[in-house]
Amino acid sequence: MSFLVWRAWKYRVPVDEVLQKMGIQLVSKCWCCQESKHETLPHLFLTSSTASKLWRLFANFAGINMGGLQLSLVLIRWWTMSCRPLYYLAVSWRPPEQGMLKCNTDGVFKGNPGRSCYDFCLRNHRGDLIYAQGKEILKTTNITAETIAVREALYHCVTMGLSMISMETDSLFLVKILSRVGNPMANCFNGGRHQANGQNLPG
């Protein structure tokens, strides 16, 4: 990262503008924004829609005022700043208790709605992979893809006669829905976490 910052500061990144100055003929287009503007170093790293969003996010956290700054000044200020302490939360996969299986589900999508697929896997208390499944589904939304992933995982578990299952999904919204009082899945899901601590799956 430090080498990339140095190259950007010295204008030594091979963007279209730099290549054109070297005599290479090409049609310039920025692939990081919807406007398809001319790819220059300041545009790519500072003023494009993607770069602007990232800079606003991190500059606000670091207390840097981006107003009217050129790319070189932004890089210098970013490199020499004294950042506030960074707080983070470590997230890791934990195996289930012995005698249980853990099922992790996920819905994958490109666009919302957009092309989607689902996948899930089952692991034992040693972390060994017991079963995995994935399949492309129709164009749909993110929450629908996540829901289908949970549905297909539960269907497989019930079909195979597996009842001692701990379910995990990365969709907090879906967990809250399934954890509501009166839902037959409420006993399997812990609404405060992205995890379902299953005892016996409903038949």
| pLDDT tens-digit readout, 41-54 | 888 878 887 887 88
Residue span(s) of the chain under CATH 3.30.420.10 come to 101-196
Estimate the crossing angle of helix 71-80 against helix 2-9, to 10 degrees: 150
In whole angstroms, give the CA distance from residue 122 to residue 158.
Answer: 13
Q: What is the CATH number assigned to the segment(s) 101-196?
A: 3.30.420.10
Q: What is the Cα–Cα distance from 98 to 122, expressed in whole angstroms?
A: 14
- One-letter amino acid for residue 38 of the chain: H
pLDDT of 57 > 80? The answer is no
What's the token pair of residue 171? Answer: 């969709």
Task: Please determine, for residue 193, whether its predicted confidence score (pLDDT) is greater than 70.
Answer: no
Structure tokens given for 198:
């299953």
Instruction: Convert the pLDDT of each residue in 15-30 to its tens digit.
Output: 888 888 888 888 888 8
142: helix, strand or coil: helix
Residue 60, SS3? helix
Give residue-wise pLDDT tens across range 116-141: 999 999 999 999 999 999 999 888 88
